[in-house]
Amino acid sequence: MNLLIEVLAFAVAIGVLVVVHEYGHYSVARLCGVKVLRFSIGFGKPLFQWVSPKSGTEWTIAVLPLGGYVKMLDERETGQAPIPAEALPHAFNRQSVWRRIAIVAAGPVANFLLAIVLFSLVFATGVTEPAAILATPAPNTAAAVAGFEGGETVVAVRAENAAESEPVRSWSDLRWKLLGAAFDHKRVVLSAKGADGTSDFQLDLRGLTEKDVDDDFMSRLGFEPGGGKLTVAGVQPGSAAQKAGLRPGDRLRAINGIATDNATAFIAYVKSHAGQPLTLQVERADAGRTQTQGQAQGQAQGQAQGQAQGQAQSQAPGKLEDIRIVPQAQRDPATGEQVGRIGAELATQVPSINVRYGPVESLRLGARRTWDLAAYSVRMFGRMIVGDASLKNLSGPVTIADYAGKSARLGPSAFLSFLALVSISLGVLNLLPIPVLDGGHLLYYLVEAVTGKVVSDRWQLVFQRAGLACIVALSAIALFNDLARLIHF
């Protein structure tokens, strides 16, 4: 069933993105008076064909659905019959350079517009997200230096010298605001509610480099979702957790006197104390436990790092017990270092909030989120080119299908957000100045607009071959990364 969901979700995602992208080219070409000969979804042998009696465009669905194209009337096309004189004004190559730029750019622009619409729908219909409550930060992190102790709820953020603050409504909202400040190397002020009221905390992000701003930058700053219940979801036979007497359903309250409500921080502490005795404060129900569905923000299989959705154990308030445990030293396959593991599966139930905006605000936020993600994608591509980011960040169709299925199972909001993210990636990718992509053609036309001379066919052929080699190389790397994630090598 999961495989079927992944296949269907992937087909829907690719179909929507390709249709929107190519329809962008098609609509602007028609607006500019260019005759469109074929609108194809997919490549290879046609499965379905229909010719519009009004425009004469052939609409096609082909056997290989990974892409599509719009074929326009063009004198430069080889192997076609001579174009009648009366049809020449409708040929693509006869259009002004600015019209050609508009037609080529329309595809990526359509992808960005789709992302804005999808994000706006998500914001307008509402989405359930973790609340912006902080877990106890690790020592010496930026959050700890700023003065956070854990349990505070961030309600607003502003630049150091700004007069007005922007409200923070959820954990995702906080992450995006800090991401923007990190990219701009700013010092910001976070307003947070704690036990003693609302206080301001200065967070210095000026020392962050482009290399520091990635998917884990919040954790490195010391920001993890908190305010929830960290429970033991399972215990491995023969593990340190079993020997110490940990049981499924136990709620972990503290480790060596440090309050804990987040799986990531707990795992990091255990990993850094291999072979060293630890004292866990555990809340254990006296009688009976009930199973409830929960949002598992962190789940660790034998203290393996990861974030997942899952089942969480909950229990009635019980007595507190101190349990002494010694993490077993094991080799971390990722780093080759000896780390501590206790052999317990963890789950975190974090407080959630339903975030919903009005139509105008949703549209504004949708445009802002699209811009931020597009800028982030461009910077990531740049970092990969100069070697500051790993090429492992490239993903291919297998990974896209996997995430399409996962997001579809999480619900409409997650799938629409995923679709918007991939649409932005497709738009950015096509704008890269690589021949055979839209960005390569735009580069030719911009040179023509500046110099007044068309890039010669000879040079276009040379660049096209180089661009094709780049695309093949990127596709091979993305496919290798897909396979590496699939079989874990």
Of the residues 6, 22, 283, 345, only one is catalytic, namely 22
CA distance 98 to 28: 12
CA distance 176 to 297: 18
CA distance 204 to 355: 28
Asked about 160 being catalytic, the answer comes back as: no
In single-letter form, the type of residue at position 380 comes to M
Q: Which residues make Cβ contacts (< 8 Å) with residue 153, sequence separation at least 6?
A: 131, 132, 133, 134, 192, 193, 194, 227
The residues pairing with 222 across neighbouring beta strands, listed in sequence order, are none
The distance from CA 329 to its chain's CA centroid, rounded to whole angstroms, is 34
| Range 148-186 burial, b when 16+ CB lie within 10 A, else e | bebbbbbbbbbeeeeeebeebbbbbbbbbbbbbbbbeeb
Cβ atoms within 10 A of the Cβ of 483, count? 14
Element (H or E) spanning 173, and its range? helix 171-183
CA distance 342 to 327: 5
Q: What is the sign, positive or negative, of the torsion defined by CA atoms of 338, 342, 347, 351?
A: negative
Strand spans (E) along 332-444: 338-341, 344-349, 352-355
Cα separation of the two ends of the chain: 26
Cβ atoms within 10 A of the Cβ of 354, count? 10
CA distance 175 to 185: 15
Q: Which residues make Cβ contacts (< 8 Å) with residue 437, sequence separation at least 6?
A: 429, 430, 431, 467, 471
CA distance 244 to 234: 14
Q: In terms of C-beta density within 10 A (0-12 exposed, 13-18 middle, 19 or more buried), how is residue 353 classed?
A: middle
**Active site residues per annotation:** 22
